[in-house]
Amino acid sequence: MESELHSIGELARASGLGVGTLRYYDGAEVLAPAWVDPQTGYRWYRPGQLADARLLARLRRVGLPLAGIRAVLGAAPGSGDGRRVLDAHLRRLEDGLADARRELSLIRAMIDQREQPMTTDPADHRSTAPGHAAPSSTVLGPAASCPAAPCLTVPAGALAAALDAVRFAVGGDPELPSLAGVLFEPDGPVLRLVATDRYRMAFAEVPASGDVPEEPVAGTIVPTPLVDALRALLGPGNGEVALTLGGGLVRAETGGHRIEGAAPDLDYPDHRAVTRFEPEHRITLPAADLRAAVEAGATRTLPSGPHGAECEVTVLTLTGDGRLAVADDDAPEGFRVAVNRDFLLDALDAGRPEQLRLELGGPIAPLAIRTPGREGTFSVLMPIRLPEPA
């Protein structure tokens, strides 16, 4: 039989896929070998599988998620299913490229702002670097007095820290435009910032004064490019910032300059329900220790996130003496919470806290990551359901 088949090494060389990659796609039920030697476990492939392996290699190069690769390779001949998967992936790539171009346009304007002195056009009070037009969504210029719309005053340093604490959770799915930004929500003496992509959510609070509403009001969604421009304007965060929110406008003034842009007229998801849960365990530990444990700990690959894409999952568990630990692949059943590993590391980096308090409610409850002393600033990660043991 072996003389009629390709060894895994031969298939790897002919397709450009590594031996380890072929083993992975066998385990993922994407490209299974025709025969596995029961004595050695060595994999053998039919000559006709070379075409599938070469197609798989090209699908990987264009970044098609595992679920899409499985759908293309498993599509019935003549059904057109494979082409539809590729068309949908191409649309996602084009949307991402359009987003990147918008971001780069704003970044160029921000670089010009840093590197060249601003000149003021009295006709519209816009400031641009010579030879460049200000981006349509953002205006940089000299500060002006607060307009008739409600105006809040917040510490620049606190606002900069709040943006750093929530920026990682901003959504990027073009089909969910309401999540492509940070919600600025006045609530009495604080300004609350909220960001989410549906799989994680981040909160931060900033003390506010000025035209502070007595009751919570509907927040304003500040689009992602404007969020990043505002963070760049704040720099190290000295002094105060005058914020105007409302009427479809966002304006920030600090240090003699302002930045403003349009706010989308969209509804932001209700974030309060996510914060109303009673954790079973509260554990305080150094952030560096948890990061080191997550980086060195075992992971498993499970489907999660947009379009069923797979991700590396970290499983948190409790030791017999109540300490938090990263579970091994063969960890016994018990208290376990599975979360996206990259999302967890992002949350640990947000704001660079030294100490953390984790609040765990169980395998299907959100995981809250808090910084002691900053109760209004925290992150919430949605859990990933672990498969039932065989």
340 neighbors 374 (Cβ within 8 angstroms): no
- pLDDT confidence of residue 205: 92
- pLDDT confidence of residue 131: 34
Q: What CATH number has the domain spanning 137-262?
A: 3.10.150.10
Beta bridge partners of 204: 193
- pLDDT confidence of residue 130: 32
pLDDT category, 331, cuts 50, 70, 90?
low
Nearest to 376 by CA among 179, 151, 172, 208: 208
Tell me: pLDDT of 94 over 50: yes
Grouping H, G, I as helix, E, B as strand and the rest as coil, residue 253 is: strand
- The mean pLDDT value for 341-363 works out to 82
CA triple 293-294-300, angle to 5 deg: 130
Q: What is the dihedral of CA 159, 238, 352, 304, to 10 degrees?
A: 30
Tell me the C-alpha distance between 180 and 174, whole Å: 8
Residue pLDDT, tens place only, 191-226: 999 999 888 999 999 998 886 666 556 789 999 999
The amino acid at 66: L
Nearest to 181 by CA among 114, 237, 229: 229
- The mean pLDDT value for 120-130 works out to 35
Tell me what percent of the residues of the chain surpass a pLDDT of 90.
17
Tell me the C-alpha distance between 282 and 369, whole Å: 10
Instruction: Report the range out of 2-16, 117-131, 203-217, 272-286 with the highest average pLDDT.
Output: 2-16
Residues 6+ apart with CB under 8 A from 136: none
The domain covering 277-381 belongs, at the CATH homologous superfamily level, to: DNA Polymerase III, subunit A, domain 2 (3.10.150.10)
Q: In what order do the strands lie in the sheet with 6-7?
A: 6-7, 43-45, 35-36
Residue pLDDT, tens place only, 144-186: 444 445 688 999 999 999 999 999 999 988 888 889 999 999 8
- pLDDT confidence of residue 145: 44
The amino acid at 154: V
341 neighbors 359 (Cβ within 8 angstroms): no
Tell me the C-alpha distance between 192 and 186, whole Å: 6
Q: Which tokens belong to 292?
A: 């080191």
CA triple 123-127-128, angle to 5 deg: 120
Q: Is there a common fold for 137-262 and 277-381?
A: yes
Q: What is the mean pLDDT of the chain?
A: 80
Residues 6+ apart with CB under 8 A from 161: 204, 237, 351, 377
Residue pLDDT, tens place only, 51-84: 999 999 899 888 888 888 988 998 888 888 899 9
Q: Distance of alpha carbon 132 from its chain centroid, rounded?
A: 32
204 neighbors 215 (Cβ within 8 angstroms): no
Angle (deg, nearest 10), helices 49-61 and 8-15: 50
CA triple 241-243-247, angle to 5 deg: 170
Q: Which tokens belong to 52?
A: 């599938």
* Domain spans, the chain: 2-61, 137-262, 277-381
Q: What does the DSSP 8-state code read for residue 16?
A: S
Tell me: pLDDT of 133 over 50: no
Q: Which tokens belong to 311?
A: 């991700």
pTM of the complete model beyond 0.95: no
- pLDDT confidence of residue 375: 78
Find out if CATH 3.40.50.620 is the number for domain 2-61.
no
Residues 6+ apart with CB under 8 A from 86: 64, 72
Beta bridge partners of 245: 250
The amino acid at 199: Y
CA triple 263-346-356, angle to 5 deg: 110
Q: Which tokens belong to 181?
A: 């930004």
pLDDT category, 45, cuts 50, 70, 90?
very high
